[in-house]
Amino acid sequence: MAVDDPLTTATAEADDFPVDVPVADLHTINLGKLQAGDAAEAQQLFEASCTTGAFYLDMRSREWDILPILEDIRSVSEELFALPQEEKCVYDVDKLPSKKCNGYKPVGRNYGGLAGQRDGFETYVIPKNGILGLNGQADFPRPPVITAALPTLHALTTTINSTTQTITHHLSQILALLPADNLKHKHEISTPSQDIIRLLKYQPQPASKEVLVPHAAHTDMGSLTFLFTRQAGLQIQCVEKGEAKGDWEWVRPPRAGHAIVNVGDSLSLLTNGVLRSCVHRVGQIPNRAMPTRYSFAYMVRPADQTVMVAPQTSQIPAAEPGVLALTCEEWMRRKYSVLRLEERPRGLEWMMTGHQQRGVQNG
């Protein structure tokens, strides 16, 4: 069976992107320039992280060839989701002792935007700690398809973690963080954390005049999410004067060798909201059927015991009195608890979209 050329496929799908929908104007950041210490590129990275909280990242670096890695993981994803349902459910993420960092979630378990159906996607998550053998987790439960793919998963993990070190280095410099507060040190590859590779498969939907939402609006609970997809569907919420509003813009699928990167709650908390966690969702383009949609993401998170409180600097304002000092592990546990509810409890709606975290009080 012939393998699609990634550049040809990405270009064809980009050409098919509708012209009659609002489109997000995202910066494209060049990783090679960041690695070379380009100050202008670093400033553009900072501005994107403070405004939309999302950007394209050109990862075609001289240090590695990421295209074969991405192609291999796409193949692994399709093979895994093609397994019989009973075989996938052996690795149910809610039944394994994994802090939600290993295993399978079937369609419909999370709060979602499909009427009467909750969410419209299945996922399989794979832990960094297991891939790298940290904390004695090398033998984490997994199906044979994941075992066979461990070299590729290891390659993606090291690539993304190296990239994260570059990004957090530049952000820390611009934020005038002291060495003890440097964001790099909170994201060391050798430190156990709840980083995951997340494989996703969205169920097809018939054409509809309205935007059906198989993945409800949310911010990511970690620091940075690197999303790889060839298909349209991602939306981000518009931001005006530093605040998210209700309007949505569609994100064009990235070019080959690029990721869509978004800032998550952890970086927002660690900078007292200077870096913006991006509100996003997956929706169906109006009047178009939604085909089966595959994507995958690497979700970077700080070390478990990182205290999610920002230091005051010339670039970061002082925290408000009474802000609750949660560890990364505690924050993620609270956010997961909201994802599983039948409806949003009054007073906790903000946990899905992360933008009131500076107002969290002790209690």
Mean pLDDT is highest, among 80-94, 98-112, 114-128, 204-218, for 80-94
| Sole residue written with tokens 């069976």 | 1
Q: What is the mean pLDDT of residues 167-172?
A: 98
Of 184, 162, 191, 194, nearest in space to 62 by CA: 162
Any domain includes 1: no
Q: How many residues does the chain have?
A: 363
Judged by average pLDDT, the poorest of 6-10, 181-185, 317-321 is 6-10
Is the pLDDT at 303 greater than 80, yes or no?
Answer: yes
In this prediction, residue 116 carries a pLDDT of 64
The CATH number of residue 14's host domain is 2.60.120.330
pLDDT tens string 44-74: 999 999 999 999 999 987 777 899 999 999 9
The confidence band for 218, taking pLDDT boundaries of 50, 70 and 90, is confident
Any domain includes 343: yes
- φ and ψ at 284, to 5 degrees? -100, 125
The model scores a pTM over 0.75: yes
In this prediction, residue 100 carries a pLDDT of 85
Any domain includes 71: yes
In this prediction, residue 321 carries a pLDDT of 75
Q: How many domains does the chain divide into?
A: 1
Is the pLDDT at 3 greater than 70, yes or no?
Answer: no
Beta bridge partners of 205: 290
Average pLDDT of the chain? 86
pLDDT tens string 241-267: 556 667 899 999 999 999 999 999 999
Q: What is the mean pLDDT of residues 179-183?
A: 94
In this prediction, residue 223 carries a pLDDT of 96
- φ and ψ at 13, to 5 degrees? -70, -35
Judged by average pLDDT, the poorest of 98-107, 220-229, 239-248, 307-316 is 239-248
**pLDDT > 90 in the chain, percent:** 62
Any domain includes 172: yes
Any domain includes 110: yes
In this prediction, residue 217 carries a pLDDT of 83
In this prediction, residue 331 carries a pLDDT of 81
Any domain includes 179: yes
Q: What is the mean pLDDT of residues 305-330?
A: 85
pLDDT tens string 136-158: 999 999 999 999 999 999 999 99
CB 260 within 8 A of CB 212: no
In this prediction, residue 208 carries a pLDDT of 85
How does 246-280 read in b/e, with b if 16+ C-beta sit within 10 Å?
eebbbbbbbebbbbbbbbbbbbbbbbbbbbbbbbb
The confidence band for 35, taking pLDDT boundaries of 50, 70 and 90, is very high
Is the pLDDT at 196 greater than 60, yes or no?
Answer: yes
| More confidently predicted of 70 and 20 | 70
Any domain includes 93: yes
Angle between helix 39-50 and helix 150-174 axes, rounded to 10 deg: 90
- φ and ψ at 17, to 5 degrees? -65, 135
* Domain, as residue range, for 355: 6-359
In this prediction, residue 362 carries a pLDDT of 31
